[in-house]
Amino acid sequence: MTGIYANLKGERVPQTLRELTAALDERGITFAMLDRKQRALPDLTVVVGGDGTVLDIAAAAAAAGTTVLALNAGGTGFLSAFEADEIDECVDAIANGRFDTVERPLISCRYGDEEWFALNEVTVQRTSTDISEGCTLQVTLSIGGEFADRFRADGIIISTPTGSTAYSLSAGGAILVPGLGALIATPLCAHTLRSKPIVFSDTTPAAITVGGGGGIFIDGRFVSSAAAGAEILVRKSDLALKLVKGKKSFYSTLYGKLTSWSEK
C-alpha cells in the first residue's frame, strides 16, 4: 500500500491530489491518506505539496525507514521527484517500482533532556515572546569543542546541505551540494562585518549559547525557548531520509529555481 501525505492548505494541492488519487485508482493501486501524527508509515509515502510539506514528515519518515516520493504542488520543489503536471509519470514510477533513491542525512538538536531532528536546519533566534524581544542576541559558537565565533545578531542557523538552499541561503549562506559531508553555520543579521558563514565537517558537533535566551526552531517550527547561557548541541544524526530522486540533476534544478525566483 502507498501512503499519501498532503498539505491541504496549499493552493494547488486539492486539484493535484484529486488527479493523483484518480490516477492511482485507475491503475488499481491501493493508498491511504496519512496525517502529521502518523506513526506507522508504509514503505512508500507520496508527499503532495512543496518542500515544507516534506519537512513536516521528514523525521517520522526517516525513523520509520519509509521512502518519500515528493510531488511538487508548492512553490519550491528542491526535494521533488515530479512536478504537478507529471502525475502520469509519477504513477508509472509507483506502479512499476522503478525509481532511484538518495539519502539525505538529518541533524540532531539537543537542549537539556530534549532532542529534535531536522532535515533542513536548526535555528536559534530571538523571538517575540521572551526577553530578547526588540534586542539582538549575543551568540557564541563552538565547533568540535573549540571556540569559533562570538557576535551579536538576530540568531544563527546550522544547516545541512539539503537546507542550504532554504533559510540559510536567504541569510547569505553558501549552497552546499547534497551528499557533501558538511554543515554550515550562518549568522542571522550579525551586527559585525567580521562574522561570516562557516562551513565545517558534519563529523564535528556544534554548540550554541545565546545571551538573554532565545527560541529554538526545527525546520522552521518553534520547539522550545532556550535559557540565557544554556548550551544547544547540534550534530549529524544517524537518521537519513530516503528520497526518490528526480530526473533532473541538482545543478539543473538549482539553476531553474534560482532563475525563476529572480524573475518574480
Q: What is the pLDDT of residues 155-198, one digit of tens each?
A: 999 999 999 999 999 999 999 999 999 999 999 999 988 899 99
80, pLDDT greater than 70:
yes
> In this predicted model, which residue has the larger pLDDT, 46 or 211?
46
Q: What is the pLDDT of residue 75?
A: 76
Please report which confidence band the pLDDT of residue 128 belongs to, taking 50, 70 and 90 as the band edges: low
What percent of the chain has a predicted confidence (pLDDT) above 70?
96
- Rounded to two decimals, the pTM is 0.93
Please report which confidence band the pLDDT of residue 135 belongs to, taking 50, 70 and 90 as the band edges: confident
To the nearest whole number, what is the mean pLDDT of the chain? Answer: 92
Q: What is the pLDDT of residue 262?
A: 72
Q: What is the pLDDT of residue 57?
A: 94
Superfamily of domain 106-238: Probable inorganic polyphosphate/atp-NAD kinase; domain 2 (2.60.200.30)
Q: What is the pLDDT of residue 187?
A: 97
**Ranges in the chain annotated CATH 2.60.200.30:** 106-238
Worst-scoring range by mean pLDDT, 96-100, 130-134, 210-214? 130-134
Q: What is the pLDDT of residue 232?
A: 97
The set of residues, in sequence order, having a beta carbon less than 8 Å from that of 25 and lying 6+ positions away, is none
The hierarchical CATH code for the domain 2-100+245-262 is: 3.40.50.10330
264, pLDDT greater than 70:
no
Q: What is the pLDDT of residue 213?
A: 80
Q: What is the pLDDT of residue 130?
A: 53
> CA dihedral in degrees (121, 101, 74, 222; nearest 10)?
-20
Q: What is the pLDDT of residue 134?
A: 61
131, pLDDT greater than 60:
no
Q: Cα angle vertex 84, ends 78, 88, to 5°?
A: 120
Q: Angle at which helices 13-26 and 87-96 pack, to 10 degrees? A: 40
> In this predicted model, which residue has the larger pLDDT, 264 or 116?
116
Q: What is the pLDDT of residue 175?
A: 97
Please report which confidence band the pLDDT of residue 88 belongs to, taking 50, 70 and 90 as the band edges: very high
C-alpha distances (whole Å) from 135 to each of 47, 88, 131, 191 are 39, 52, 8, 12
- String of DSSP letters for the chain: -EEEEE-TTSTTHHHHHHHHHHHHHHTT--EEE--TT--S--SEEEEEE-HHHHHHHHHHHHHHT-EEEEEE-SS--TT-SEEGGGHHHHHHHHHHT---EEEEEEEEEEETTEEEEESSEEEEE--SSSTTTTS-EEEEEEETTEEEEEEEESEEEEE-TGGGGTHHHHTTPPPPPTT-SEEEEEEES-SSSS---EEEETTS-EEEEEET-EEEEETTEEEEEE-TT-EEEEEEEEEEEEEEPPSS-HHHHHHHHHHHHHT-
238 part of the active site: no
132, pLDDT greater than 60:
no
Q: Radius of gyration of the chain from Cα atoms?
A: 19
Q: What is the pLDDT of residue 100?
A: 94
User: How does pLDDT run across 224-258, given as a tens digit for each residue?
Assistant: 999 989 999 999 999 999 999 988 899 998 898 88
**Ranges in the chain annotated CATH 3.40.50.10330:** 2-100+245-262
The set of residues, in sequence order, having a beta carbon less than 8 Å from that of 18 and lying 6+ positions away, is none
Give the whole-angstrom CA distance, residue 93 versus residue 239. Answer: 25
Catalytic residue among 25, 35, 43, 51: 51
Give the whole-angstrom CA distance, residue 165 versus residue 258. Answer: 10
Q: What is the pLDDT of residue 247?
A: 86
Please report which confidence band the pLDDT of residue 77 belongs to, taking 50, 70 and 90 as the band edges: confident
